[in-house]
Amino acid sequence: MNLVTSTVTLGNEPLTIEQVVHIARSAPPGTDYLGGPVRVEVSEAAWGRVRHTRGVIDALADDSVAHYGISTGFGALANTSIPPEKRTQLQRSLIRSHAAGSGAEVEREVVRALMLLRIQTLATGRTGIREETLRAYVAMLNAGITPVVREYGSLGCSGDLAPLSHCALALMGEGWVRDASGELLAAGDALATAGITPVELREKEGLALINGTDGMLGMLCMAITDLRALVTIADLAAAMSVEGLLGTDDVFAADLHALRPQPGQALSAANMRKVLAVSGIRDSHRDPEACTRVQDAYSLRCAPQVAGAVRDTLDHAARVAGWELASAVDNPVVTLDDRVESNGNFHGAPVAYVLDFLAIAAADLASMSERRTDRFLDKARNHGLNAFLADDPGVDSGLMIAQYTAAGMVSEMKRLAVPASVDSIPSSAMQEDHVSMGWGAARKLRRSVDALTQVLTIELLTAARGIQLRAPLTPSPVSAAIIAALDEVSRTAPGPDRFLADDIAAAVYAVADGSVRHAAESVAGPLN
């Protein structure tokens, strides 16, 4: 049974990160999905602004003075005057030539996000788009029609030109799309089936449809959402590792973290205290006379400091995303007093920088997680557990190669952490002589987020097995709940070697869909 369709109205206020992600990941119309389908509509006030600024553009169409994108060519051809009878062809040629992407198809959620964000900018009334063009774009998004966008083609300046051009091409009834069921179709056929008339673009409309940071911004919104969930998982995994490795929770005391008032650090420490509360394993070595260890390794003791820094980096990225979501990015743009002005607001640097920053933070979080996994497997450092947590070391290899898998992904994440935004390759005959590479930064961050999910999952599975090897000592109630949730989809209990890849994949899904966090919160209450 389909869920009731929800509606998001654009034009009255900026979209939130949460709305972008919800719409991007919503179900296609007519399908069953937890998120349910979402319709987008434009407010009446916004339609009024769209009609007004289109009038401004129409008034300039016959002006003897050249206006960029209205009566001139584009980029390095901005000084070429275009006669009125060729301006429709000008807009059509712009989209066809700029839809030059190559490589693998970009994910449906990314394309939906960039379509949504372009619609949001068009609804500000600052671009000069015609009402009928915007209505067709909204209809295409609502119909679940997803243009085929390719991996490569955007330099992040002037915005995400090639990805947005593939979407505009579909709006013209050309190129390729996926329909709501995922079937590959010619765009014209998909529009006809949905009852949408292809658009014949007029003056300025081609630029309005492709001059924006929408692709990189959409991917930033999704990365922020995913990383916020994963940093909580990192706290859970770290706390379970501390427990299973006979570490101390004394270092997570609130008054110690108040001495260094980094906000994210305090939140992570609070999560870890909740996980470690009422742990029989921890209580077994609380007596200072029985425990000769003075300090735990950094990967245990400093976990809140690293995860907390990731939290604070995410907050900074969210502020940048919020500013960009409140923007009307186009060139030229129609100002509030009806001037049509060229500008550089399409440059992706603000978004590109934080995309790169998040890749660095994610790589460091994964690196620390992998070090805790490795510590569990080393008999010289795991305080009495079998080598590699194997049932019969030598006959069994235990979780030896699971750590290899985590290490391989961490190594890849370190390479992905190399900033894209420090690079620039000039384009358009040196007119566009400095570009942001923000699209590339966003694409590699998506791979990094996926790898982080898997690295943290491997730590959770390792910690779960290590904790169970401490029997008859009992884990904390929160750790026990997490282990039970993992056991519903995979196997964490010690025993002879078994096929690990399926266990890891199932546990990754339980982390990604929120099951692990839900299990923890069912005992601990809300986590940060």
Active-site residue numbers?
68
Q: Which residues contact residue 224 at a Cβ distance below 8 angstroms, ignoring those fewer than 6 apart?
A: 17, 314, 317, 318, 321, 358
Whether 420 and 440 have beta carbons less than 8 Å apart is answered as yes
DSSP string for residues in 116-135: HHHHHHHTTT-S---HHHHH
Helices (H) and strands (E) in the chain, counts: 20, 9
Pairing of strands 6-10, 38-42: parallel
DSSP assignment letter at 86: G
CB 162 within 8 A of CB 87: no
By DSSP bridging, strand 102-105 and strand 150-152 are antiparallel
Give the alpha-carbon dihedral of 7, 10, 12, 15, to 10 degrees.
90
C-alpha radius of gyration, the chain, whole number: 27
Burial of 205 (0-12, 13-18, 19+ CB in 10 A): buried
> Mind spelling out the 3-state secondary structure of 473-516?
CCCCHHHHHHHHHHHCCCCCCCCCCCCHHHHHHHHHHHHHCCHH
> Looking at beta carbons, which pairs linking 496-500 to residues 24 or more positions away fall under 8 Å?
496/391, 496/392, 496/396, 497/390, 497/391, 497/396, 497/397, 497/398, 500/399, 500/401, 500/402
Tokens found for residue 490: 């995979």
Task: Looking at 289-392, list the stretches that DSSP marks H as alpha helix, in order from N- to C-terminal side.
Answer: 298-301, 303-325, 349-377
CA distance 319 to 306: 20
At CA 175, angle to CA 170 and CA 177, rounded to 5? 65
* Cα separation, 259 vs 382, whole angstroms: 30
CA nearest 167: which of 147, 152, 186?
147
**By C-alpha distance, which of 253, 267, 270 is closest to 309?**
267
**Which residue type sits at 499?**
F
What 72-75 contacts at long range (C-beta under 8 Å, 24+ apart), as own/partner pairs, is 74/207, 75/158, 75/428, 75/429, 75/431, 75/432
Helices (H), 245-348: 254-258, 263-276, 280-283, 298-301, 303-325
Burial of 305 (0-12, 13-18, 19+ CB in 10 A): middle
Angle (CA) 230 234 237, round 5°: 130
